[in-house]
Amino acid sequence: MAGVSKKTFAIAMIVCGFVLAVMILISPGIGTQDVGIIDAWRSLFDSEPNSIHYSIAWQLRFPRTLKALLAGSVLALCGAVFQTLFRNPLATPYTVGIASGASLGALICYKLHWVTTILGISSVSIGALTGAIGVLLVVLLLARSTARITGNTLLLAGVTIGFFCSGMMMFITSLADVSETHKTVRWLMGTLDTYGHVELSMLLPLTIPPCLLLLWFARDLNQYSVGSELAASRGVRVERLEILAIIAGSLAVSAIVSMCGPIGFVGLIIPHLVRLAFGFDHRIVLPASILLGGSFLIGCDFLTALAPHWYGQLTHTATTTARLPIGVMTAIVGTPVFLVLLCSRRS
Amino acid sequence: MKTVTKTDDAIIQLRGVRFGYGTSRMFLGPIDLDIHRSRMLAVVGPNGAGKSTLLRLIAGLVKPGAGDVRFGDAPLDSLPPRERARHITFLPQKPVAPDSTSAMEIVSLGRHPHRKFGLFESATDRVTVERSMEQTGTMPFATRRMDTLSGGEAQRVHLAAALAQQPKVLLLDEPTAELDLRFQLQIFELLRELTDREKLATIVVTHDLNLARRFSDDALLLSAGHVAAKGPTETVLVPETLEAVYGVGFKTAECENQTWLLAQNPIEDASSTIIDDLGTFG
């Protein structure tokens, strides 16, 4: 069978879709409070609509799950696209310096004590989004100064601006007090904390259209992965593909970073896992990355709640109700999973 | 072996084509050239002569700084990229294959210009891919990963992908570079066969003058961006023209009805010379 077969595609989507469905179904029942899966689902159909169980499962946990789903999906999708565009297996959604820009924006908000909500959105998120989009615009302007914008010029411009933002962050942090520094460090570890659905509904217009555009590019990205010259000779508008895909991906990631902080590893390892399992074809890699990226981040979010509880049981100390930062968990879980898969494939 | 037929109208015409990168001076041209179907043209010349750039101009990957490249009656740059790709295919010098791709996946990528909105390959796509693989003898390793194939096998797979594009014009940039003698012969025999059977206009950039002389109908000799000679192969690839361009002495030897070119020592004070058009070609 030439190219991607319907059978391979169907298997990939069923497997990844099943994993995601299971994660979503059990998510209202997993957290720091003692409300299990059955309690959570029973509360949804109870006659008492605002019970404690209902509030914990469906007003606190489920919005977190949706946020994790959106963030994981977008980061994994953009990671897959950026690894192809930059021809670099280490490329991540943050390669063009977005995370540094967003972090700098967030840090400035903390430093200026501008911590409030506007239309239900945190001012820190607004600052982070401004920083991320600002960096993207600067990078594009720098890259445009060359004869032709290419992945490499964008990469170099992004890395340079990223270093500049990191330097500025260190400068501001050195002037900050303990409280501001703690808040910033905590933000840099990533968070899925959410209060209701307002944040999520604001994220959708910034993330869904760019993601749809990236999915539309799947066949062009297949061509691009065998060389930009060969792709151009087969009718792909290479320069347009590079610019649109990077802008779309960066915009979607900016929105995610502004709400969740720079959550690492998802955009790096999920595309590799998908390729190891299903091959290089972007018609499978992109949608499968969306499904598995979401599942992975939901799973990691479970562990941020359960790990402190397990630690308390093991050490016979008081169980804490605090969650671990999500960025810590993605690194702890992602690294060994990826290494095991890599080694098993080589063997 | 070579055909003697020459088809009527040129499928591609270059008139006064010149090219320079960015704002630099035009280093290539002026070039006038007619390219016909069922003919194989070998583009030869020293490194930096502009051979690969000429191929990119004909492929529509770069636009000329001056002059016209026409496909049939239309200017080449008036064709949308996908339509152009349905007529002209270009195989770069070192095509790459992503990790873990199979030979058939690489060949099926060649169908890109013909595909519309569907997610999967159509029945026509599958038939064409299989036919291209049969033509190039790559069907036996269709499911093998590209990184397990030899250089010659991989090059035949990329050639099959080019054929899957169903082109009228086949452009190849040093298709036998880094291949051993056996694979070099195999690739050129295959190109000759495809040119005749599929009525392709084939243009091959090569450094192997003997393969060019043996398999191609016409030759274009470039020197420092200028046409040093063009015409039927046996009139262009001769010691007199080659010595002036390469700065190396050449001799010929006859063996089994073939003329072979033998490179000798470098010639002192050799300078590139533009030689007049030697034949009726172009």
Spatial contact of A200 and A63, defined as CB atoms under 8 Å apart: yes
Q: pTM of the predicted model, to two decimals? A: 0.87
The mean pLDDT of B81-107, rounded to a whole number, is 91
- Torsion sign across C-alpha atoms B39, B245, B209, B165: negative
The rounded distance, in Å, linking the Cα atoms of A197 and A194 is 8
Q: How far apart are the first and last CA of chain B?
A: 22
Distance from CA of A152 to the nearest CA of B (A): 18
- A236 contacts on B by Cβ (under 8 Å): 81, 112
Is residue B273 scored above 50 in pLDDT?
A: no
pLDDT tens-digit series, residues B221-251: 999 899 999 999 999 999 989 988 988 888 8
- A9 contacts on B by Cβ (under 8 Å): 119-120
In the structure, what pLDDT confidence band is assigned to residue B131 with cuts at 50, 70 and 90?
A: very high
Distance from CA of A148 to the nearest CA of B (A): 10
Query: Tokens in use for A212?
Result: 């749809």
Written out in words, the top-level CATH class of the domain with range A4-346 is: mainly alpha
Q: What angle do CA A234, B109, B71 make, to 5 degrees?
A: 25
Other CB atoms within 10 A of residue B85 CB: 26
pLDDT tens-digit series, residues A276-308: 888 889 999 999 999 999 999 999 999 998 888
Could you say which residues of chain A have pLDDT below 50? Answer: 1
Nearest CA in chain A to B81: A235
Spatial contact of B263 and B239, defined as CB atoms under 8 Å apart: no
pLDDT tens-digit series, residues A192-233: 887 666 677 778 888 999 999 999 999 999 999 998 899 999
pLDDT at B46: 92
ipTM exceeding 0.90, yes/no: no
pLDDT tens-digit series, residues B244-262: 898 888 888 888 888 888 8
The rounded distance, in Å, linking the Cα atoms of A345 and A341 is 6
Q: Do A2 and B105 touch (CB under 8 A)?
A: yes
Distance from CA of A2 to the nearest CA of B (A): 6
Q: Do A6 and B95 touch (CB under 8 A)?
A: no
Is residue B277 scored above 70 in pLDDT?
A: no
Chain B residues in contact with chain A using a Cβ-Cβ cutoff of 8 Å? 22, 56, 59-61, 80-86, 88-92, 95-101, 104-113, 115, 119-121, 125-126, 129-130, 165
The rounded distance, in Å, linking the Cα atoms of A140 and A344 is 40
pLDDT at A137: 85
pLDDT at B278: 46
Nearest CA in chain A to B166: A234
Is residue B206 scored above 90 in pLDDT?
A: yes
The rounded distance, in Å, linking the Cα atoms of B30 and B36 is 20
- Give how far the C-alpha of residue B109 lies from the chain's centroid of Cα atoms, to the nearest Å: 20
pLDDT tens-digit series, residues B140-192: 999 999 989 988 889 899 999 999 999 999 999 999 887 888 888 988 999 99
pLDDT at B272: 46
Residues 6+ apart with CB under 8 A from A190: A260, A261, A262, A263, A264, A325, A326, A327, A330
Q: Which of B52, B109, B128, B170 to mutate to test the interface with A (most CBs of A within 10 A)?
A: B109
Which residue is listed with tokens 């003058």? Answer: B209
Nearest to B119 among A233, A237, A283 (CB): A283
The rounded distance, in Å, linking the Cα atoms of B232 and A113 is 80
pLDDT at B2: 53
Q: Do A233 and B61 touch (CB under 8 A)?
A: yes
Distance from CA of B81 to the nearest CA of A (A): 4
Nearest CA in chain B to A10: B120
pLDDT at B6: 47
pLDDT at B23: 64
**Average confidence score pLDDT of chain A:** 86
What is the DSSP-derived secondary structure letter of residue A226? T
Nearest to B85 among A4, A222, A235 (CB): A235
Q: What angle do CA A268, A271, A277 make, to 5 degrees?
A: 135
pLDDT at B276: 46
- On the CB side of A110, CA atoms within 13 Å amount to 24
Ordered by start, the domain boundaries in chain A are: 4-346
Contact of A147 with chain B, judged by CB distance below 8 Å, is answered with yes
Could you give the C-alpha distances from B212 to A120, B90, B122, B204, B251, in angstroms and in order?
Answer: 72, 18, 38, 8, 16
Q: Do B112 and A232 touch (CB under 8 A)?
A: no
String of b and e for A102-128 (b: at least 16 CB within 10 Å)? bbbbbbbbbbeeeeeeeeebbbbbbbb
Chain A residues 213-232 with CB within 8 Å of chain B: 219, 222-223, 225-227, 229-230, 232
pLDDT tens-digit series, residues B263-272: 887 776 555 4
Q: Could you tell me which of A235, A222, A228, A148 has the C-alpha nearest to residue B59?
A: A235
